[in-house]
Amino acid sequence: MTIKNLLDVPSKLTLTAVRIIKSMHFHAESAQVEKVERCADALFNIITLSMFPRNKIGPFNNRINELREVAFRRRISNIIGELKVNLRNGDFAIDSDVIGEIHKYVSLALVCGADNEYRDEIMAEISRIKIAGNCNLEGAEACILSKSNGISYNEKRRTLRFAKPSLCITIDGLRYKTVDWSPCGLLIDNYVAPICNGDHLRLHVNSADANGGGLICGRAVERPELHNKLAIDLEDLSPIILNLMHELKTRGIQPSV
């Protein structure tokens, strides 16, 4: 090797490291954890070489950890998203291995720089999902609402529901109470405003018993047999509804219908 080529080694190593960082960034954004880890291993091998510029080791090392954390967070988000989709589709069984996988990636994210607040948020989200699943394991059975709710009819449902406590729902400035509610939908009492099947609505939900609420979106479902009652499909599992269920569960309040 000539002296000129020897002097070029540090810059070539840096360029190689930059190319790997770019690939690592792409894999991290798409939650390809395994590829990110392979890139990280390759980068560690490069930056620990004696010819690698000492002043660049710190910045590269920091970037490696940043991208690993991004990948772990993305993977966690994807897993939780899949759990919510499964709940939405009526699959309420939550595999313990899946929860274990989330815990593993949370631990790795913490090692890479995530804070305890992130860990607590994920643990709370898992708790809410577990509660939603536990509350609805028998949800696919045919049910009859009791006359104490002011209505009686047969229906096939995906999820068990809370009749009590009812939620306070505000739509277009008018306030209503729920007959019952679940992670997938609401049944609102005394609703007489004109509405068409499939109309999208913005609703503010509030529960004094759960000490929480917020703005959610839903779709009106045509139910001719429900006189002066509005059925709303939430279309997706609402974090706000899951939070209310979580809070009620911690207070010992179980779904009632």
pLDDT tens per residue across span 15-73: 999 999 999 999 999 999 999 999 999 999 999 988 898 899 999 999 999 999 999 99
Domain containing 188: what range?
A: 142-250
Q: Which of 99, 119, 135 is the last residue of a domain?
A: 135
Is 45 within a domain? yes
Contact 244, 134 (CB under 8 A): no
Is 50 within a domain? yes
Cα–Cα distance for residue pair 233/242, rounded to 1 Å = 15
> Which pLDDT score is estimated for 44?
93
> Which pLDDT score is estimated for 248?
83
Q: Which residues of the chain have pLDDT under 50?
A: 1-7, 137-157
Contact 201, 193 (CB under 8 A): no
Q: Which of 102, 118, 135 is the last residue of a domain?
A: 135
How far does Cα 151 stand from its chain's mean position?
Answer: 33
112 and 187 in a single domain? The answer is: no
92 and 164 in a single domain? The answer is: no
> Which pLDDT score is estimated for 144?
39
Is 256 within a domain? no
> Which pLDDT score is estimated for 95?
82
78 and 122 in a single domain? The answer is: yes
pTM reported for the whole predicted model: 0.63
Q: Hey, CA dihedral for 110, 114, 120, 121, is it positive or negative?
A: negative
Cα–Cα distance for residue pair 19/205, rounded to 1 Å = 49
> Which pLDDT score is estimated for 139?
42
Q: Which of 102, 135, 168 is the last residue of a domain?
A: 135
